[in-house]
Amino acid sequence: MVEKDSGQGLDVRRPDSASQVVERAEGMQVSREALLPPMVKLIQTTTAEAGKYGPGKFLRVDTEEVFDTLEVVPLVSRATQVKWPGGFNRDALPACWSVNGITAGQGAEREGQSCHSCPFFSPVPQRGKEGGMCETGHNVIFMEEGTFNVFGMRLRGTANRIMQHISSPGIAQRAVVRLYSEKVTRSGNTWYQLKVKTVRLLDGADGDLAVATMRSYLTIDLGVTELQAEPPGAGAEERSLPEEGGPSSSPGGGGEPVVRSAGGGGVYNDLPF
C-alpha cells in the first residue's frame, strides 16, 4: 500500500502500520524508514561514548561523526512524555509514553488516554524524574546550514531550555542558530548544558526551502527512546538531576573520532521500540 502525501505533511507511520511506502512527490515513492532523519545527541561525561569522543561534543549516531558546534535551522518540534518503570533506566523500555505530549501512544500503559489528565503528568521538564512522574521532553528536527541535510534530536531535562528560543516565530524556519555546549559544575555535579545562539536570518530562497522541508517532516515520529538501551548519560537526550544536569562519572571507551565542524544527512532507523 502506498500513502500519498496530502500536501500537509508526510504520512510516515509507525512500524505496525500496513503502509511501508509513501509517495513524497509525483513519481517519487520512498520507504517509510528511509525518511527517518539521523539522530544527533550531546555527549555527557556519563555517556558511553565520552571516552572515545570527549564530552561536550555532538555525536551523529549512525555515522559516529563528532561536531563541536552545529549551525542549523529549527524546522519541527513535538512535545513528548515518558514514564519509566520504577524510575529512569536505559536498560528498560518506558512503561508509558506520548510522542505528541497530548495522548499516550499505542502500546503504552495508558494507551489513548489524555496526558494532561494523568496523575503522573509533569509539565515542568527539569522535575519530570521526581516521584515516578512522566518526563517532559521535545523531539526536534533541524536542517543543517549549507548542506540542507536534516537530523533529529531528543531534548530532555535542562536541554528543553532552548525550546523557548528556537520555537519563536522569528526563529523557527526563519533563522540559522548555533547549537553548542557549556560545562557546568554545581553542587558537586558536572554536566554539559545545551545552548543556542542566533547566527543570522535566512534569505528568501533559503527561507522558502526551510518551509518546504518543514512541511515534508510534519508527521515524522522520532519516538521517545533509542532502539538499543545504553548506559546513563546521553547528552541532549539525557535527563537531569532535580535542578540541572546529570551526575559526572569516569567515562570509558577508546578509538579515534571523526571530527568536523558541522554535519547532517543520511539515514538512521531510530524507531522507539
**Model-wide pTM > 0.85:** no
Poorest-confidence range of 129-138, 206-215, 220-229?
A: 220-229
Sign of the alpha-carbon dihedral angle for 218, 176, 245, 256: positive
Q: What is the pLDDT of residues 239-267, one digit of tens each?
A: 333 222 333 332 223 333 333 333 333 22
**Amino acid 223: pLDDT:** 81
Helices (H), the chain: 50-53, 163-166, 204-216
Q: How many CA atoms lie within 13 A of 186 on its CB side?
A: 13
pLDDT digits (tens, 9 = 90+) for 61-78: 999 999 999 999 999 999
Sign of CA dihedral 124, 174, 56, 266: positive
- CB count within 10 Å of CB 163 equals 18
* pLDDT band at residue 155 under the 50/70/90 scheme: very high
Residues 6+ apart with CB under 8 A from 188: none
Lowest mean pLDDT among 13-22, 36-45, 121-130, 247-256: 247-256
Nearest to 41 by CA among 241, 235, 181: 235
Among 5-9, 36-40, 232-236, 253-257, the least confident range: 253-257
Q: Determine how β-strand 21-25 pairs with β-strand 2-4.
A: parallel
Average predicted confidence (pLDDT) for the chain: 75
List Cβ neighbours of 138 (8 Å cut-off, separation of 6 or more). 77, 78, 79, 80, 154, 155, 160, 163
Q: Give the domain ranges of the chain.
A: 1-35, 37-249
